[in-house]
Amino acid sequence: MLLDDAELEAELDRMTDTHTGAIAAAAAQTAALRPWIFENRASRLVIDPERFPDEREEMRAAGMGAVYTKTSHGEPLRLEDAEQERRLLDEYFHPYAQAMMEFIDARLDATGHAVILDVHSYPSKPLPYELHADGSRPAICLGTDAFHTPDWLLGAARAAFESCGDIELNTPFAGCYVPLRHYNTQPAVSAIMVEVRRDTYLTEPAGPPTDGLRRLTVALARLIDLCDQRLPRSEHR
């Protein structure tokens, strides 16, 4: 890392999806059927597990592929070193991806289906690294995929979050995370990304939560319940 302590703390405030883990955990406890939680416990400044690890990733143009070399303001974060990138991918990225693939495979074997609810947050004002910063910034951005986001899941997400503010699709961020083993090949894996604008539930950039956090928790729990109602019953889900 090329940042000093103060610079690193500021970058973490900008790039961390603050309190989303708390939202997911509280929603899981509130939902009628507790879902599985797959949590990334390393900062995306170590690796970003939802980026392509190769030239398919468009964010490499901003120095933010699976291993970031630039900060959110385009300043150097770490040296561009192919060997260091390989080590970070081997230590963090590939084990995460493998574990997620095996987890989804286990759910498919047990139930025949899997639904991924991918929870993120984003700032109310665009950061310099964003490639699509000219798009609108709704309270809730739903990231979808033509293959993996069925109409029923999108409808459930809209219904669940309707009380949280305006909802738009794929702006300012698009798509949703699906393990590469299942991507565009396994229709039994459904997925949607829920991007929450941070000023709706915390004091930006990464301050304490506001009353909006409770509203989001209730909404996410409702989405979990709607997914449960839509899918076939199974004691092993």
DSSP-derived letter for residue 93 is I
Report yes or no on 237 lying in a domain. no
* 236 domain residue, yes or no: no
Is residue 195 one of the residues assigned to a domain? yes
The proportion of the chain whose per-residue pLDDT surpasses 70, expressed as a percent, equals 97
Burial readout 18-46 (b: 16 or more C-beta within 10 A, e: otherwise): bbbeebbebbbeebeeebeeeebeeebbb
Residue 133 domain-assigned (yes or no): yes
The string of pLDDT tens digits covering residues 170-195 is 999 999 999 999 999 999 999 999 99
Query: Tens of pLDDT along 83-130?
Result: 999 999 999 999 999 999 999 999 999 999 999 999 999 999 999 999
Query: What are 163's two structure tokens?
Result: 């009380």
Give 34's DSSP letter: P
Helical ranges in 113-211 per DSSP H: 151-160
The range of the structural domain enclosing residue 150 comes to 5-230
Residue 29, H or E segment: helix 20-30
What 3-state class would DSSP assign to 194? Answer: strand
- Pairwise CA distance, residues 196 & 119, whole Å: 8
Asked, for residue 41, whether it belongs to a domain, the answer is: yes
Whether residue 148 is predicted with pLDDT greater than 80 in this model: the reply is yes
- Which band of pLDDT confidence, cut at 50, 70 and 90, is reported for residue 231? confident
* CB proximity list for 112: less than 8 A, separation 6 or greater: 188, 232
> For residue 142, what are the contacts with CB-CB under 8 A and spacing of at least 6?
154, 157, 158, 161, 167, 168, 169, 170, 192, 193, 194, 195
Is residue 34 domain-resident?
Answer: yes
Domain assignment present for residue 235? The answer is no
Q: How confident is the model at residue 235 (pLDDT cuts 50, 70, 90)?
A: very low
**Pair of tokens at residue 26:** 């509280």
Give the bridge partners for 117, in sequence order. Answer: 192
Q: Is the model's pTM score more than 0.75?
A: yes
> What average pLDDT does the structure give for the chain?
95
pLDDT of 219: 98
Beta-sheet strands, E only, within 124-205: 140-143, 167-169, 189-197
Q: What is the pLDDT of residue 10?
A: 98
Beta strands in 88-152 (DSSP E): 114-122, 140-143
79: in domain? yes
Q: What is the mean pLDDT of residues 64-77?
A: 97
Q: What is the CATH classification number for the domain harbouring 190?
A: 3.40.630.40
How many domains, the chain? 1
